[in-house]
Amino acid sequence: MAKPIVATTALASCFGCHMSLLDIDDRILELIELVDFNKSPVDDIKKFTQMCDIGIIEGGCANSENVHVLKEFRKNCKILISLGECAIMGGLPAMRNDIPVEECLAEAYLNGPSTKNSNTEKILPNDAELPCILDKVYPCHEIVKIDYFLPGCPPRADLIWNALVALVTGDEMKLPYEVIKFD
Amino acid sequence: MSEKIKFTIDGKECFADKGKNIVEAAKANGIYIPTLCHLEGIEAAGSCRICNVKINGKFMTACTTEVADGIIVENNTPEIQELRKIIVETLFVSGNHYCAVCEKSGNCDLQALAYRYKMLVPRFPFEFEKKEVDAYSSKLYLDRNRCILCKRCVRSIKTKDGKSIFAIKGRGYKAMINIDYELANKMTEEEARKAMDTCPVGCIIRKEIGYITPIGQRKYDKKPIGSEIEEPVTK
């Protein structure tokens, strides 16, 4: 049987979940025996080159580009996993969700300590090339169907490892108490 | 010696003193019934519903129901576990619970219950409702994003002459916890600590001591909530 193919991405997030993946330490050698990687920051493949078995999503959707990438993943992956608090509930980026976007932009570009004296023309970024910021940060499963959820900030390396091994081998996933944490 | 009452929980024969509520009676028999609004020593409110059990086939809150002779209590059935998980999930979506930045994380009863019931994601949409933080008193601040309106603090944190330091303002959807600055500023460090410990979530937080316990040594890092009550065989 061919090796299952994994794709990963980081949307509105800090990349910490991908770092936690590296915390599986020397098991990474076992992992590359078990799976092949396609589009992912790990191997720097920018575009899907084939249908993938498992897509791992870090981060929620804060702008139009995040939504675009997430939908691409849904189209090109048989199974999608929300990895970490940001993908699951918006995480720290979602702390802006009770503040109107206009106020957020004003704080960042007009009234913030580093911009209030330098941005004299009061310019807000508004170029067709730039992704459009969304009204709030959305959890991934509110945009597309997500099959599995691995919580944590970041998710424990053992949780990621157990999930990938369970998916690849078809065995039931081990969920000991210590691996489910939200911080 | 007080009168002993005989009853069963999930088929196990239990004994308790007359007058005890079912949460306490279960605890005396090594059985954990989760609570969020209820706290031993204060009058039960029965508002959070997490302690729901079936008594003779009917759903009732264990904290407000007195133990009675011969009752049949269902506690750890799949149906009740699922119901409790749903309650935890509704609390997670109706507040703004950013565990990663909360000083109470690891010591939080709500979070610990989510761990116990293996909540990986709430099944309901997140509300992201705007809630105000109140940091005007000197020793404590209130982060209403995390408040579950259990009223533990309202019912149990009082001044020496019996005045309430906390109160709920507004009703229904607009209800929110408030603190009396004048009385709160007179609290001793010990009283402030008690207030923070009383809060089952991270709403009442002591100032200037955040993240004092390292990850790995906090209350619920290694052991699930309730494991201190349960007998080793049922862990």
DSSP string, A41-83: TTTTB-S--S-EEEEEEESBEEEHHHHHHHHHHHHHEEEEEEE
Judged on CB neighbours under 10 Å (0-12, 13-18, 19+), B186 is: middle
The pLDDT of residue A1? 63
If asked whether residues B90 and B49 sit together in one domain, one would say: no
pLDDT tens per residue, range A121-170: 999 998 999 999 999 999 999 999 999 999 999 999 999 999 999 999 99
Whole-number percent of chain B with pLDDT over 70: 97
If asked whether residues B110 and B192 sit together in one domain, one would say: yes
Interatomic CA distance for residues B25 and B66, integer angstroms: 9
If asked whether residues B137 and B45 sit together in one domain, one would say: no
Residue B233 has pLDDT above 60, yes or no: no
Domain A5-94+136-179 CATH assignment equals 3.40.50.700: yes
If asked whether residues B104 and B200 sit together in one domain, one would say: yes
Which value, to the nearest 10 degrees, does the dihedral of the CA atoms of residues B235, B36, B105, B163 take?
A: -140
Q: How confident is the model at residue B232 (pLDDT cuts 50, 70, 90)?
A: low
If asked whether residues B180 and B124 sit together in one domain, one would say: yes
What's the token pair of residue B79?
């149906």
CA dihedral over A12, A14, A15, A17, signed as positive or negative: negative
The pLDDT of residue B235? 43
A181 contacts in B (CB within 8 Å)?
115, 221
A97 contacts in B (CB within 8 Å)?
96, 128
The pLDDT of residue A84? 97
Q: How far is B210 from chain A (nearest CA, A)?
A: 15
Q: Is B217 on the interface with A (CB under 8 A)?
A: no
Q: How far is B202 from chain A (nearest CA, A)?
A: 14
If asked whether residues B14 and B70 sit together in one domain, one would say: yes
| Half-sphere CA count of A137, side-chain side, radius 13 A | 23
Nearest Cα residue to B220 out of B97, B96, B104: B104
Q: Is A127 on the interface with B (CB under 8 A)?
A: no
If asked whether residues B43 and B113 sit together in one domain, one would say: no
Quote the mean pLDDT of chain B.
94
Site of tokens 């509110």: A142
Whole-number percent of chain A with pLDDT over 90: 96
If asked whether residues B67 and B131 sit together in one domain, one would say: no
Whole-number percent of chain B with pLDDT over 90: 94
Quote the mean pLDDT of chain A.
95
Q: What is the CATH number of the domain that holds B163?
A: 3.30.70.20
Q: What is the CATH number of the domain that holds B22?
A: 3.10.20.740
Ramachandran category for residue A128: left, alpha or beta (phi over 0 → left; psi -120 to 50 → alpha): alpha
Stretch B68-94: mean pLDDT: 97
* Structural domain of B195: 84-206
Q: Is A93 on the interface with B (CB under 8 A)?
A: no
If asked whether residues B95 and B149 sit together in one domain, one would say: yes
- The beta-carbon neighbor of A151 closest among B106, B120, B215 is B120
The pLDDT of residue B3? 76
The pLDDT of residue A2? 84
Tell whether B178 is covered by a domain: yes
If asked whether residues B91 and B69 sit together in one domain, one would say: no
- The beta-carbon neighbor of B99 closest among A94, A97, A183 is A183
The pLDDT of residue B217? 96
Residue B126 has pLDDT above 60, yes or no: yes
Query: Best of B97, B103, B128, B223 to disrupt the A interface by mutation (most A CBs within 10 Å)?
Result: B128
- Quote the number of domains for chain B: 2
Tell whether B225 is covered by a domain: no
The pLDDT of residue B1? 53
Q: Is B224 on the interface with A (CB under 8 A)?
A: yes
pLDDT tens per residue, range B25-41: 999 999 999 999 999 98
> CB distance B115–A89 less than 8 Å?
no
Residue B231 has pLDDT above 70, yes or no: no
If asked whether residues B92 and B180 sit together in one domain, one would say: yes
Q: Is B226 on the interface with A (CB under 8 A)?
A: no
> CB distance B111–A151 less than 8 Å?
no
Q: How far is B13 from chain A (nearest CA, A)?
A: 29
> CB distance A94–B223 less than 8 Å?
no
Complex ipTM: 0.93
Residue B110 has pLDDT above 60, yes or no: yes
Of the residues B56, B76, B96, the one at which a domain ends: B76
Q: How far is B111 from chain A (nearest CA, A)?
A: 8
Stretch B142-153: mean pLDDT: 96
What's the token pair of residue A110?
């007009």
Tell whether B220 is covered by a domain: no
> CB distance A180–B118 less than 8 Å?
yes
Q: Is B235 on the interface with A (CB under 8 A)?
A: no
Q: How far is A61 from chain B (nearest CA, A)?
A: 14
Q: How confident is the model at residue B234 (pLDDT cuts 50, 70, 90)?
A: very low
> CB distance B121–A97 less than 8 Å?
no
Alpha-helical regions (H) of B61-150: 78-94, 109-116
Residue B178 has pLDDT above 80, yes or no: yes
Report pTM.
Answer: 0.94
If asked whether residues B152 and B72 sit together in one domain, one would say: no
Q: How far is B121 from chain A (nearest CA, A)?
A: 7
Tell whether B111 is covered by a domain: yes
Query: Best of B103, B121, B123 to disrupt the A interface by mutation (most A CBs within 10 Å)?
Result: B121
DSSP state for residue B43 in the 8-state scheme: -
